Structure 1
C-alpha cells in the first residue's frame, strides 16, 4: 500500500497518529492499516465483512482488549 493515491482516514478521536487507518480501495474492498507503521501490509476486507464488523462494534458485541 505504498501508493500515494489511496485516501487513508483515521478517527477524529486520534490525537497521537498511532491509530488504525481505513481506506476504500474500490467498491468492494476496504483496507485497514496501523497508522504507526503505514509501510506494513494492510488487512483487506470485503464491504460485507467490514459492514458486519462495524455492526458488531456498534452493537457492543466485541469485548475491549
Structure 2
C-alpha cells in the first residue's frame, strides 16, 4: 500500500524494464534536474507527457 498522497499503477515488465534502463543510463543528468529516484523519474516523465498533450492540458486546466 502506498503512503498517503500517493497511488500505485501497474505496468508490464517490458515497460518497467525500459523505463528502468533509461533511468539507470541517465541517472546523473536526471539528478541535476532534481530527479533522484526511479519513482521520481516515472513521475517526471508522466508530467512531461501531460504538458505536451494538448487534450490532457485542457482537461487539467478545469481543476
Q: Give TM-score scaled by structure 2 length.
A: 0.34
Higher Rg: 2
Which protein has the bigger helix share?
Answer: 2
User: What's the TM-score, normalizing by structure 1?
Assistant: 0.33
The one of the two structures with greater contact order (alpha-carbon pairs below 8 A, sep at least 6) is 1
